[in-house]
A = this chain, B = another copy of it.
Amino acid sequence: MNFLEKRILQDGVVKPGNVLKVDSFLNHQMDIKLMEEIGKEFYRRFADKNINKVMTIEASGIGIACFVAKEFGVPMVFAKKSKSVNISGDLYVAEVESFTHKNTNQVIVSKSFLSTDDHLLIIDDFLANGCALKGLISIAKDAGATIEGLGIVIEKGYQNGGKMIRDMGYHLESLAIVDSMDDETGAIVFRQQ
């Protein structure tokens, strides 16, 4: 069991509807020492790749992606969920359905910050049905960038996003894969990796 799985067992809370609350340390309140550890672990897993940029999607991916980018010594770019009046010029756009918020957002990245020169590590906190990752992959492909890998903190192994991304041929690393949860007992079963 790795450091993240231990932390999930310690501080994660299983709620009805297959909801895993990790908001005390990952996606509302953030334990910065854990973020640094996550950054180092993704560096270790993708150190052999030629990565020159980390990409994520707002909001909860940002903190994690910052510490991953710090380890690689590269900039981080995050896809924004709505068109801001301060983003002008040409944009890459993808539609992303949110499992959490039950709605659809346009996500955008300025064409200034992604190009055929970029070798991306795509980072996010959760992977469930894969809609956010599909949106980021679509934007990266529009830009002609190379996707060197994708790093997820917690994958819900009982949803199909992880299988879909791996079947597309991408190198996907999830620090913890939850195969099942029980909201009555609080039990969480991780996939052996």
Contacts and interface: CB of A to CB of B under 8 A. Distances in A.
Specify which of A63, A80, A110, A112 lies most central, judged by the most chain B CB atoms within 10 Å of its CB: A63
B75 A32 contact: yes
A187 interface: no
A116 B67 CA distance: 30
Given A59-B62, A76-B32, A76-B63, A23 B86 contact: yes
A35 B85 contact: no
A70 B37 CA distance: 12
A19 interface: yes
Nearest to A57: B59
A102 to B, nearest CB: 7
Nearest to A126: B86
Interface in A42-98: 58-59, 62-63, 66-67, 69-70, 73-78, 80-82, 84-88
Given A28-B109, A30-B66, A30-B77, 16 more contacts: A19-B85, A19-B86, A23-B86, A24-B112, A24-B113, A28-B80, A29-B76, A29-B113, A30-B75, A32-B69, A32-B73, A58-B58, A63-B63, A63-B66, A84-B101, A85-B100
